[in-house]
Chain A
Amino acid sequence: MSAAALLFRRELALSWGGGGGPLVAVGFLATLTTLIPLAAGADPTRLAPLAAAVAWVALALASLLSLERLFERDHEDGALDLLALGPLPLEAVCALKALAHWVGTGLPLALAAPVAALALGLAPSLAPLALVAGLLGGLGFSFIGALGAALALGARRGGLLIAAVVLPLFIPPVIFGGGALARAADGQSPLQALALLAAYALFAAAVSPLAAAAAVRNAQS
Protein backbone atom coordinates (compact mmCIF):
# COMPACT_ATOMS: atom_id res chain seq x y z
CA MET A 1 0.00 0.00 0.00
CA SER A 2 1.39 3.37 -0.93
CA ALA A 3 2.16 6.00 1.68
CA ALA A 4 -0.68 8.19 0.42
CA ALA A 5 -3.22 5.40 0.81
CA LEU A 6 -1.82 4.59 4.25
CA LEU A 7 -2.26 8.16 5.47
CA PHE A 8 -5.67 8.48 3.85
CA ARG A 9 -6.91 5.36 5.64
CA ARG A 10 -5.57 6.59 8.95
CA GLU A 11 -7.32 9.94 8.55
CA LEU A 12 -10.60 8.27 7.66
CA ALA A 13 -10.32 5.96 10.66
CA LEU A 14 -9.58 8.94 12.90
CA SER A 15 -12.55 10.94 11.64
CA TRP A 16 -14.92 8.05 12.30
CA GLY A 17 -13.27 6.73 15.44
CA GLY A 18 -13.84 8.17 18.88
CA GLY A 19 -16.84 10.48 18.86
CA GLY A 20 -17.81 9.92 15.24
CA GLY A 21 -17.22 13.45 13.90
CA PRO A 22 -19.33 12.95 10.75
CA LEU A 23 -22.33 11.85 12.81
CA VAL A 24 -22.07 15.03 14.87
CA ALA A 25 -21.89 17.11 11.70
CA VAL A 26 -24.95 15.40 10.20
CA GLY A 27 -26.77 15.82 13.50
CA PHE A 28 -25.90 19.51 13.46
CA LEU A 29 -27.26 19.82 9.93
CA ALA A 30 -30.48 18.09 10.97
CA THR A 31 -30.90 20.28 14.05
CA LEU A 32 -30.28 23.47 12.10
CA THR A 33 -32.83 22.36 9.52
CA THR A 34 -35.34 21.74 12.31
CA LEU A 35 -34.83 25.20 13.73
CA ILE A 36 -35.74 26.99 10.49
CA PRO A 37 -39.47 26.11 10.38
CA LEU A 38 -39.65 26.66 14.13
CA ALA A 39 -38.32 30.18 13.66
CA ALA A 40 -39.92 31.07 10.32
CA GLY A 41 -43.24 29.25 10.63
CA ALA A 42 -44.34 25.99 9.03
CA ASP A 43 -46.15 27.60 6.09
CA PRO A 44 -44.89 25.66 3.02
CA THR A 45 -45.27 28.69 0.75
CA ARG A 46 -42.73 30.52 2.87
CA LEU A 47 -40.41 27.60 3.52
CA ALA A 48 -40.22 26.06 0.06
CA PRO A 49 -38.50 29.01 -1.69
CA LEU A 50 -35.82 28.98 1.02
CA ALA A 51 -35.41 25.20 1.23
CA ALA A 52 -32.41 24.84 -1.04
CA ALA A 53 -30.67 27.93 0.33
CA VAL A 54 -31.13 26.92 3.96
CA ALA A 55 -29.89 23.40 3.34
CA TRP A 56 -26.91 24.78 1.47
CA VAL A 57 -25.91 27.20 4.24
CA ALA A 58 -26.44 24.48 6.84
CA LEU A 59 -24.08 22.26 4.84
CA ALA A 60 -21.42 24.97 4.79
CA LEU A 61 -21.71 25.51 8.55
CA ALA A 62 -21.80 21.81 9.37
CA SER A 63 -18.62 21.16 7.40
CA LEU A 64 -16.86 23.64 9.72
CA LEU A 65 -17.62 21.53 12.77
CA SER A 66 -15.09 18.74 12.59
CA LEU A 67 -12.33 20.93 11.20
CA GLU A 68 -10.97 21.97 14.57
CA ARG A 69 -9.50 18.55 15.25
CA LEU A 70 -8.09 18.07 11.75
CA PHE A 71 -4.60 19.30 12.65
CA GLU A 72 -5.04 20.17 16.30
CA ARG A 73 -5.04 16.62 17.68
CA ASP A 74 -1.91 15.72 15.67
CA HIS A 75 -0.29 18.92 16.90
CA GLU A 76 -1.16 18.24 20.53
CA ASP A 77 0.10 14.67 20.68
CA GLY A 78 3.21 15.18 18.54
CA ALA A 79 2.01 13.10 15.58
CA LEU A 80 2.55 16.10 13.31
CA ASP A 81 6.32 15.68 13.80
CA LEU A 82 5.97 12.09 12.72
CA LEU A 83 3.93 13.05 9.66
CA ALA A 84 6.59 15.60 8.69
CA LEU A 85 9.31 12.92 8.66
CA GLY A 86 7.42 10.58 6.35
CA PRO A 87 7.88 9.97 2.64
CA LEU A 88 5.43 12.66 1.47
CA PRO A 89 6.00 16.42 1.58
CA LEU A 90 3.88 18.31 4.08
CA GLU A 91 1.86 19.82 1.23
CA ALA A 92 0.74 16.33 0.20
CA VAL A 93 -0.03 15.45 3.82
CA CYS A 94 -2.27 18.52 4.06
CA ALA A 95 -3.98 17.70 0.77
CA LEU A 96 -4.64 14.11 1.88
CA LYS A 97 -6.01 15.27 5.21
CA ALA A 98 -8.40 17.65 3.46
CA LEU A 99 -9.41 14.95 0.99
CA ALA A 100 -10.08 12.51 3.82
CA HIS A 101 -12.15 15.19 5.54
CA TRP A 102 -14.20 15.52 2.37
CA VAL A 103 -14.77 11.77 2.11
CA GLY A 104 -15.30 11.30 5.84
CA THR A 105 -17.48 14.33 6.61
CA GLY A 106 -18.35 16.04 3.31
CA LEU A 107 -19.82 12.92 1.76
CA PRO A 108 -22.32 12.18 4.56
CA LEU A 109 -23.23 15.87 4.65
CA ALA A 110 -23.76 15.98 0.88
CA LEU A 111 -26.10 13.00 1.25
CA ALA A 112 -27.94 14.61 4.16
CA ALA A 113 -28.33 18.07 2.58
CA PRO A 114 -30.87 17.06 -0.10
CA VAL A 115 -32.89 15.23 2.55
CA ALA A 116 -32.93 18.39 4.67
CA ALA A 117 -33.92 20.46 1.63
CA LEU A 118 -36.74 18.03 0.79
CA ALA A 119 -38.00 18.23 4.35
CA LEU A 120 -38.20 22.00 3.97
CA GLY A 121 -40.19 21.65 0.75
CA LEU A 122 -37.66 21.49 -2.08
CA ALA A 123 -39.07 20.17 -5.36
CA PRO A 124 -37.97 16.49 -5.50
CA SER A 125 -36.67 16.95 -9.04
CA LEU A 126 -33.98 19.26 -7.64
CA ALA A 127 -32.65 16.75 -5.10
CA PRO A 128 -30.00 15.24 -7.41
CA LEU A 129 -28.69 18.71 -8.17
CA ALA A 130 -28.51 19.49 -4.45
CA LEU A 131 -26.43 16.33 -4.01
CA VAL A 132 -24.02 17.25 -6.81
CA ALA A 133 -23.67 20.81 -5.51
CA GLY A 134 -23.11 19.42 -2.01
CA LEU A 135 -20.34 17.14 -3.25
CA LEU A 136 -18.54 19.81 -5.27
CA GLY A 137 -19.02 22.49 -2.65
CA GLY A 138 -17.98 20.13 0.11
CA LEU A 139 -14.66 19.59 -1.68
CA GLY A 140 -14.06 23.35 -1.61
CA PHE A 141 -15.23 23.63 2.00
CA SER A 142 -12.88 20.84 3.12
CA PHE A 143 -9.81 22.30 1.44
CA ILE A 144 -10.46 25.90 2.51
CA GLY A 145 -11.39 24.61 5.96
CA ALA A 146 -8.15 22.64 6.22
CA LEU A 147 -6.28 25.88 5.60
CA GLY A 148 -8.25 27.57 8.37
CA ALA A 149 -7.60 24.66 10.71
CA ALA A 150 -3.87 24.83 10.00
CA LEU A 151 -3.80 28.59 10.55
CA ALA A 152 -5.60 28.26 13.88
CA LEU A 153 -2.99 25.82 15.26
CA GLY A 154 -1.65 27.06 18.56
CA ALA A 155 -4.40 29.66 18.91
CA ARG A 156 -6.71 30.13 21.83
CA ARG A 157 -10.36 29.37 21.02
CA GLY A 158 -9.29 27.51 17.89
CA GLY A 159 -12.77 26.46 16.79
CA LEU A 160 -14.24 29.94 16.86
CA LEU A 161 -11.19 31.31 15.13
CA ILE A 162 -11.47 28.79 12.30
CA ALA A 163 -15.00 30.05 11.65
CA ALA A 164 -13.90 33.71 11.63
CA VAL A 165 -11.04 32.96 9.25
CA VAL A 166 -12.78 30.50 6.97
CA LEU A 167 -16.31 31.84 6.53
CA PRO A 168 -15.30 34.86 4.40
CA LEU A 169 -13.45 32.41 2.16
CA PHE A 170 -16.61 30.30 1.92
CA ILE A 171 -18.46 33.11 0.15
CA PRO A 172 -17.69 32.19 -3.48
CA PRO A 173 -18.68 28.51 -3.15
CA VAL A 174 -21.79 29.46 -1.17
CA ILE A 175 -22.78 31.87 -3.95
CA PHE A 176 -22.09 29.44 -6.80
CA GLY A 177 -23.82 26.48 -5.13
CA GLY A 178 -26.80 28.56 -4.08
CA GLY A 179 -26.89 30.04 -7.58
CA ALA A 180 -27.00 26.62 -9.20
CA LEU A 181 -30.00 25.62 -7.07
CA ALA A 182 -31.76 28.95 -7.60
CA ARG A 183 -31.33 28.80 -11.36
CA ALA A 184 -32.58 25.25 -11.53
CA ALA A 185 -35.61 26.25 -9.43
CA ASP A 186 -36.29 29.02 -11.96
CA GLY A 187 -36.14 26.50 -14.79
CA GLN A 188 -32.76 27.73 -16.04
CA SER A 189 -29.67 25.63 -16.63
CA PRO A 190 -27.50 25.31 -13.50
CA LEU A 191 -24.48 24.23 -15.55
CA GLN A 192 -22.63 27.54 -15.49
CA ALA A 193 -22.99 27.82 -11.74
CA LEU A 194 -21.88 24.22 -11.26
CA ALA A 195 -18.87 24.83 -13.48
CA LEU A 196 -17.92 27.87 -11.39
CA LEU A 197 -18.40 25.84 -8.21
CA ALA A 198 -16.16 23.08 -9.58
CA ALA A 199 -13.58 25.66 -10.64
CA TYR A 200 -13.51 27.11 -7.14
CA ALA A 201 -13.16 23.66 -5.59
CA LEU A 202 -10.20 22.94 -7.86
CA PHE A 203 -8.67 26.32 -7.07
CA ALA A 204 -9.03 25.59 -3.35
CA ALA A 205 -7.52 22.12 -3.81
CA ALA A 206 -4.54 23.66 -5.57
CA VAL A 207 -3.86 26.62 -3.29
CA SER A 208 -4.92 25.49 0.15
CA PRO A 209 -2.38 22.63 0.65
CA LEU A 210 0.50 25.03 -0.05
CA ALA A 211 -0.77 27.62 2.42
CA ALA A 212 -1.78 24.98 4.97
CA ALA A 213 1.68 23.38 4.85
CA ALA A 214 3.26 26.78 5.48
CA ALA A 215 0.93 27.27 8.45
CA VAL A 216 1.71 23.80 9.84
CA ARG A 217 5.47 24.38 9.58
CA ASN A 218 4.97 27.66 11.38
CA ALA A 219 3.06 25.96 14.19
CA GLN A 220 5.71 23.22 14.48
CA SER A 221 8.58 25.65 14.87
Chain B
Amino acid sequence: MLSVTGLSLSRGERVLFRDLSLALDAGQAVALTGANGAGKTSLLRAIAGFLRPDAGTIAVDGQPPAEARDRLHFLGHQDGLKGQRLTGNELDFQARWLGADAAGTAHAIQTLGLDPLLDLETRKLSAGQRRRLALARLIAAPRPLWLMDEPFAPLDAGWREALGRLMAEHLVGGGAILAAVHDPLPIPAAALDLGGLS
Protein backbone atom coordinates (compact mmCIF):
# COMPACT_ATOMS: atom_id res chain seq x y z
CA MET B 1 0.00 0.00 0.00
CA LEU B 2 2.81 2.38 0.92
CA SER B 3 6.26 2.03 -0.51
CA VAL B 4 9.09 4.43 0.22
CA THR B 5 12.46 3.83 -1.43
CA GLY B 6 15.76 5.64 -1.10
CA LEU B 7 14.15 8.70 0.48
CA SER B 8 16.28 11.69 1.47
CA LEU B 9 14.74 14.66 3.23
CA SER B 10 16.17 17.92 4.43
CA ARG B 11 14.84 21.05 6.11
CA GLY B 12 16.64 24.12 4.93
CA GLU B 13 20.30 23.19 4.80
CA ARG B 14 19.95 20.42 7.40
CA VAL B 15 19.71 16.85 6.12
CA LEU B 16 17.21 14.86 8.22
CA PHE B 17 17.91 11.42 6.83
CA ARG B 18 19.21 9.77 3.69
CA ASP B 19 18.25 6.66 1.76
CA LEU B 20 15.30 5.65 3.93
CA SER B 21 13.13 2.79 2.71
CA LEU B 22 9.85 1.55 4.11
CA ALA B 23 7.08 -0.73 2.92
CA LEU B 24 3.65 -1.00 4.43
CA ASP B 25 0.99 -3.51 3.33
CA ALA B 26 -2.70 -3.60 4.04
CA GLY B 27 -3.30 -4.63 7.65
CA GLN B 28 0.10 -3.45 8.85
CA ALA B 29 1.13 -0.71 11.21
CA VAL B 30 4.50 0.91 11.74
CA ALA B 31 5.47 2.89 14.81
CA LEU B 32 7.79 5.71 13.86
CA THR B 33 10.17 6.71 16.63
CA GLY B 34 13.15 8.98 16.97
CA ALA B 35 14.35 12.01 18.83
CA ASN B 36 12.70 15.37 18.44
CA GLY B 37 13.95 16.86 15.21
CA ALA B 38 14.87 13.50 13.71
CA GLY B 39 12.31 14.02 10.96
CA LYS B 40 9.22 12.04 12.03
CA THR B 41 6.80 14.80 11.16
CA SER B 42 8.70 15.62 7.97
CA LEU B 43 8.51 12.00 6.82
CA LEU B 44 4.75 11.93 7.41
CA ARG B 45 4.33 15.25 5.59
CA ALA B 46 6.40 14.00 2.67
CA ILE B 47 4.21 10.91 2.35
CA ALA B 48 1.12 13.12 2.45
CA GLY B 49 2.62 15.07 -0.44
CA PHE B 50 3.32 18.32 1.43
CA LEU B 51 7.11 18.08 1.35
CA ARG B 52 9.24 17.44 -1.67
CA PRO B 53 11.98 14.89 -1.03
CA ASP B 54 15.56 15.58 -2.12
CA ALA B 55 15.78 12.10 -3.57
CA GLY B 56 13.87 8.84 -3.61
CA THR B 57 10.31 7.88 -4.40
CA ILE B 58 7.09 7.61 -2.44
CA ALA B 59 4.21 5.57 -3.77
CA VAL B 60 0.78 5.16 -2.22
CA ASP B 61 -1.03 2.33 -4.01
CA GLY B 62 1.61 2.67 -6.71
CA GLN B 63 0.97 6.36 -7.26
CA PRO B 64 2.85 9.49 -6.20
CA PRO B 65 1.36 11.29 -3.18
CA ALA B 66 -0.14 14.09 -5.25
CA GLU B 67 -2.31 11.54 -7.08
CA ALA B 68 -3.16 9.61 -3.94
CA ARG B 69 -4.47 12.32 -1.68
CA ASP B 70 -7.94 10.72 -1.64
CA ARG B 71 -6.46 7.54 -0.17
CA LEU B 72 -4.81 8.88 2.94
CA HIS B 73 -5.61 10.73 6.13
CA PHE B 74 -3.11 13.06 7.72
CA LEU B 75 -3.55 13.75 11.41
CA GLY B 76 -1.03 16.37 12.47
CA HIS B 77 -0.25 18.22 15.69
CA GLN B 78 -2.74 20.86 14.74
CA ASP B 79 -6.40 19.98 14.60
CA GLY B 80 -7.41 22.40 11.83
CA LEU B 81 -10.30 23.73 13.90
CA LYS B 82 -11.69 27.26 13.88
CA GLY B 83 -12.28 28.50 17.40
CA GLN B 84 -15.44 30.46 16.70
CA ARG B 85 -17.20 27.69 14.77
CA LEU B 86 -19.45 25.10 16.30
CA THR B 87 -18.07 21.62 16.73
CA GLY B 88 -20.92 20.24 14.64
CA ASN B 89 -20.19 22.59 11.74
CA GLU B 90 -16.49 21.87 11.78
CA LEU B 91 -17.02 18.12 11.91
CA ASP B 92 -19.61 18.30 9.16
CA PHE B 93 -17.26 20.28 6.89
CA GLN B 94 -14.16 18.20 7.56
CA ALA B 95 -15.93 14.88 7.11
CA ARG B 96 -17.81 15.84 3.96
CA TRP B 97 -14.80 17.59 2.44
CA LEU B 98 -12.87 14.36 2.77
CA GLY B 99 -15.70 12.36 1.25
CA ALA B 100 -17.83 11.09 4.15
CA ASP B 101 -21.54 10.47 3.80
CA ALA B 102 -24.16 11.18 6.46
CA ALA B 103 -24.02 7.65 7.83
CA GLY B 104 -20.26 7.80 8.17
CA THR B 105 -20.43 11.09 10.04
CA ALA B 106 -23.13 9.77 12.37
CA HIS B 107 -21.02 6.69 13.02
CA ALA B 108 -17.99 8.85 13.86
CA ILE B 109 -20.01 11.02 16.26
CA GLN B 110 -21.21 7.94 18.07
CA THR B 111 -17.85 6.17 18.11
CA LEU B 112 -15.96 9.16 19.49
CA GLY B 113 -18.69 10.32 21.86
CA LEU B 114 -18.97 13.74 20.24
CA ASP B 115 -22.74 14.10 20.56
CA PRO B 116 -22.72 16.35 23.66
CA LEU B 117 -20.06 18.62 22.10
CA LEU B 118 -21.75 19.35 18.78
CA ASP B 119 -23.37 22.64 19.74
CA LEU B 120 -20.28 24.04 21.49
CA GLU B 121 -17.78 26.39 19.88
CA THR B 122 -14.55 24.50 19.31
CA ARG B 123 -12.56 26.95 21.45
CA LYS B 124 -14.57 25.68 24.45
CA LEU B 125 -13.24 22.14 23.96
CA SER B 126 -10.37 20.63 25.93
CA ALA B 127 -7.27 19.39 24.12
CA GLY B 128 -8.47 15.80 24.37
CA GLN B 129 -11.90 16.70 23.02
CA ARG B 130 -10.32 18.57 20.13
CA ARG B 131 -8.24 15.53 19.29
CA ARG B 132 -11.34 13.32 19.31
CA LEU B 133 -13.02 15.79 16.98
CA ALA B 134 -10.01 15.66 14.66
CA LEU B 135 -10.03 11.86 14.78
CA ALA B 136 -13.68 11.84 13.74
CA ARG B 137 -12.82 12.54 10.10
CA LEU B 138 -10.71 9.37 9.99
CA ILE B 139 -13.71 7.34 11.10
CA ALA B 140 -16.28 9.24 9.05
CA ALA B 141 -14.46 9.12 5.71
CA PRO B 142 -12.84 5.72 5.20
CA ARG B 143 -9.41 6.02 3.60
CA PRO B 144 -6.90 3.18 3.64
CA LEU B 145 -3.70 4.89 4.83
CA TRP B 146 -3.58 6.75 8.13
CA LEU B 147 -0.62 9.03 8.74
CA MET B 148 -0.69 10.05 12.39
CA ASP B 149 1.60 12.40 14.26
CA GLU B 150 1.49 11.73 18.02
CA PRO B 151 -2.16 10.68 17.88
CA PHE B 152 -2.33 9.72 21.55
CA ALA B 153 -0.70 12.78 23.03
CA PRO B 154 -3.65 14.80 24.37
CA LEU B 155 -5.98 11.85 25.06
CA ASP B 156 -6.75 10.48 28.52
CA ALA B 157 -6.28 6.79 29.39
CA GLY B 158 -9.81 5.74 28.44
CA TRP B 159 -9.72 7.37 25.04
CA ARG B 160 -6.18 6.10 24.38
CA GLU B 161 -7.53 2.60 24.79
CA ALA B 162 -10.47 3.42 22.55
CA LEU B 163 -8.17 4.84 19.86
CA GLY B 164 -6.10 1.65 20.08
CA ARG B 165 -9.25 -0.36 19.36
CA LEU B 166 -10.15 1.91 16.43
CA MET B 167 -6.67 1.49 14.98
CA ALA B 168 -6.90 -2.29 15.34
CA GLU B 169 -10.27 -2.24 13.57
CA HIS B 170 -8.79 -0.14 10.78
CA LEU B 171 -6.04 -2.73 10.26
CA VAL B 172 -8.50 -5.61 10.30
CA GLY B 173 -10.53 -3.77 7.67
CA GLY B 174 -7.52 -3.72 5.34
CA GLY B 175 -6.11 -0.35 6.28
CA ALA B 176 -2.54 0.61 7.15
CA ILE B 177 -1.13 2.98 9.75
CA LEU B 178 2.10 4.92 10.02
CA ALA B 179 2.20 6.69 13.37
CA ALA B 180 4.88 8.85 14.93
CA VAL B 181 4.90 7.99 18.64
CA HIS B 182 6.97 8.30 21.78
CA ASP B 183 5.44 5.28 23.55
CA PRO B 184 4.86 1.88 21.94
CA LEU B 185 1.65 1.50 19.93
CA PRO B 186 -1.07 -0.52 21.71
CA ILE B 187 -1.44 -2.65 18.57
CA PRO B 188 0.94 -5.09 16.91
CA ALA B 189 3.29 -2.90 14.89
CA ALA B 190 6.68 -2.93 13.28
CA ALA B 191 9.09 -0.23 14.40
CA LEU B 192 11.08 2.30 12.43
CA ASP B 193 13.55 4.37 14.38
CA LEU B 194 14.85 7.53 12.77
CA GLY B 195 17.44 7.89 15.52
CA GLY B 196 18.86 11.31 16.04
CA LEU B 197 20.30 12.89 19.15
CA SER B 198 18.33 12.04 22.26
Contact = CB atoms under 8 A, between A and B. Distances in A.
Contact of A77 (B69, B72, B81): B81
A87 B99 contact: yes
A85 B71 CA distance: 9
Contact of A78 (B69, B80, B83, B93): B80
A14 interface: yes
Given A77-B78, A84-B69, A6 B93 contact: yes
Given A3-B97, A78-B78, A85 B48 contact: yes
B50 A84 contact: yes
A183 interface: no
Interface string A127-142: 0000000000000000
B82 A79 contact: yes
Contacts of A13: 85, 89
Nearest to B73: A85
A7 B72 CA distance: 20
A6 B97 contact: yes
Contacts of B80: 74, 77-82
B77 interface: yes
A86 B97 contact: yes
Contacts, number: 71
Given A13-B85, A17-B84, A87-B70, A81 B48 contact: yes
Contact of B76 (A7, A10, A78, A221): A78
A65 to B, nearest CB: 18
**From DSSP, what is the main secondary structure of chain B's interface residues?**
loop
A168 interface: no
A1 B85 CA distance: 20
Interface in A176-221: 217, 220-221
A85 B83 contact: no
B159 interface: no
B193 interface: no
Interface string B73-104: 11011111111110001000110111100000
Interface in A17-49: 17-18
B49 interface: yes
Interface in B40-64: 45, 48-52
Contacts of B51: 221
Contact of A220 (B50, B77, B78, B83): B50
Contacts of A221: 45, 50-52
Nearest to B123: A18
A85 B98 CA distance: 7
A10 B77 CA distance: 22
B97 A83 contact: yes
A18 B97 contact: no
B69 A73 contact: no
Interface of A: 1, 3, 6-7, 10, 13-14, 17-18, 73-74, 76-87, 217, 220-221
Given A81-B80, A85-B69, 6 more contacts: A79-B80, A82-B94, A82-B137, A85-B98, A87-B97, A87-B99
